[in-house]
Amino acid sequence: MEEIWSGLLRAFELIITLDPEVVGITARSLYISLASVFLASLIDIPVGAMIESREFWGKRNVISLIHTLYSLPTVTVGLLVYLILSRNGPLGSLEILYTPAGMVLGQVILITPIMIGLTITALGEVSPQVKDTAKSLGASELQIMITTIKEVRSAMLASVLLGFGRALSEVGVAMMIGGNIRGYTRVLTTAISLETAMGNLELSMALGIILLSISLLVNLVMNRLQGR
Amino acid sequence: MAFLELEALGKAYGGVEVLQDISIDLFRGEILGIIGPTGSGKTTLLRLVNLLEAPNSGSIRLEGLTLNDLTEKEKLSARRRMAMVFQKPVMFKGSVQENVSYGLKIRGKKDQKIVRSALEAVNLSGYESRDANTLSGGEMQRVALARALVLQPEILLLDEPVANLDPKSAAAIDRIVQSLVGQNTLVILATHNMLQCKRLASRVAVLMKGRLVAVGEPGEIFDRGQEQLLSEIAVPW
């Protein structure tokens, strides 16, 4: 127990003194996850809006599949992206395996089902009269889509935050695609995993506290938005 | 040539015919009052004209151009010549100002003056910064009308515009509709309020069970032996 307390104290010390390694890992985690969620939003929100607004054969099955993929294991995505990015894979020529770019690609794939699914759910809440009103006032298909998204902007932002939270806290993709290279692809989750295995509990706990604090902050903002 | 021609228009939902064989020629500067009981197809007819839905049969021609055959882009251009005010208007999230200027914004226009004068016309001056979704039903109805008016549409489609309005608001809307006649606007007013129809319409069409059963001057429809027909509509004056 004493070891845990002294570890915790040391962990807080590392955070308060802005230990370069802790800051570096945190900053890397944030920018990789933010980049992932930004790219995923650019793809997933329009795709979700299109699925929601159009009627096509098998739509219900597509939505069921998307919901099933919410719980996609991160290591499965890691394996899939590894196969795609490995030297003999279809995107091997990009040479982004074990790079932050590869991690971003993996995280985009990981959070895509959640973001598309939540977009569909959020837009499904908008009354058809909103679309009719926009259309009757001369809105194009794209303008109707934008108007509809704006109507549920809090829910849309919540889905983006949820995607960010999932990207930030996953280990599988970061480990398998990033390779946990110190100073390059090492992020909060992979660093915690490694440092714990190495018995470096102070650093592990410091990083764990930071990860938990960010998750807590994301959840607080999400709850506020959903309460609106 | 008629400005807007509806020819043998028909619409069905799941095998149930809601509109059948609707044919009528409409002209600029006239107010067509469509009266009929609830469920007679008034709203569906307005929705077809506004190209919100496609008819199952027949055609709609605007200045000789058949709208049904147009591409989506061309339909958008045609729709931008019209504006519709729904019976239960929906307010977009945002202020009254944002709601009223919506149609202008999506056309890439910005004209605060026209927004102000539209709000003035519907007696809502000073409401610009109010949250549109906190307004009363009557106020929302007037914002919806202002939202359509700023577009200066060539065709204005009004679906029960004074339903649930207080007499003062209803009178304001009546005045606005009448003033549009001088601006060469074609107004199609669907209502089951015969008094309003008689007061405003230059022509009246009676819709019963999806069919046009009578079309004529208000005098012809309301005053000359159409009592039996009108009694079927069963809505108080």
User: Beta partners for B212?
Assistant: B207
pLDDT in tens, B97-123: 999 999 999 999 988 889 999 999 888
Tell me what pLDDT residue B46 has.
97
Whether B93 sits inside 8 A of A151 (CB atoms) is: yes
Contact criterion met (CB below 8 Å) for A173 and A74: yes
Helix axes A74-85, A100-124, angle to 10 degrees: 130
Tell me what pLDDT residue A218 has.
87
Report the share of chain A in percent with pLDDT over 70.
99
Instruction: Please give the mean pLDDT across all residues of chain B.
Output: 89
Contact criterion met (CB below 8 Å) for B118 and B83: no
- DSSP letter, residue B133: G
Q: Which two tokens stand for residue B30?
A: 């006239």
Higher local confidence (pLDDT), B45 or B165: B45
Chain A residue numbers touching B90 (CB-CB < 8 A): 127, 129-130, 132-133
Q: B177-185 contacts: CB < 8 A, separation 24 or more?
A: B177/B31, B178/B31, B180/B31, B180/B156, B181/B29, B181/B30, B181/B31, B182/B29, B183/B29, B183/B152, B184/B28, B184/B29, B184/B154, B185/B28, B185/B29, B185/B152, B185/B153, B185/B154, B185/B155, B185/B156
Question: From CA A77, how far away is CA A15, in angstroms rounded?
Answer: 32
**Chain A residues whose C-beta sits inside 8 Å of any chain B C-beta:** 127, 129-130, 132-141, 143, 147, 150-151, 153
Q: Is B79 at the interface with chain A, CB within 8 A?
A: yes
Rg over CA atoms, chain B: 17
Backbone angles phi, psi at B214, to 5 degrees: -160, 140
Nearest chain A residue to B47 by CA distance is A136
What CATH architecture does domain B1-81+154-237 belong to?
A: 3-Layer(aba) Sandwich (3.40)
| ipTM of the shown complex | 0.90
Residue A47 has pLDDT above 50, yes or no: yes
Tell me what pLDDT residue A178 has.
95
pLDDT in tens, A72-100: 899 999 999 999 999 999 999 999 999 99
Give A141's Cβ-side CA count (13 Å radius). Answer: 11
pLDDT in tens, A170-193: 999 999 999 999 999 999 999 999
Tell me what pLDDT residue B230 has.
63
Contact criterion met (CB below 8 Å) for A33 and A107: yes
Chain B residue numbers touching A140 (CB-CB < 8 A): 76, 106
Q: Name all domains of chain A by residue range, CATH numbers in brackets.
A: 2-226 (1.10.3720.10)
Chain B residue numbers touching A127 (CB-CB < 8 A): 90
Flag the least confident range among A34-43, A211-220, B7-16, B189-198: B189-198
Nearest chain B residue to A127 by CA distance is B90
Chain A residue numbers touching B84 (CB-CB < 8 A): 136
Contact criterion met (CB below 8 Å) for A173 and A196: no
Whether B79 sits inside 8 A of A136 (CB atoms) is: yes
Higher local confidence (pLDDT), B20 or A201: B20
Interface test with B, best of A123, A137, A140, A145 (most B CBs within 10 A): A137
Nearest chain B residue to A130 by CA distance is B90
Higher local confidence (pLDDT), B149 or A10: B149
Helix/strand/coil for A93: helix
Q: Is B93 at the interface with chain A, CB within 8 A?
A: yes
Residue B237 has pLDDT above 50, yes or no: no
Backbone angles phi, psi at B213, to 5 degrees: -100, -15
Residue B224 has pLDDT above 70, yes or no: no
Tell me what pLDDT residue A6 has.
81
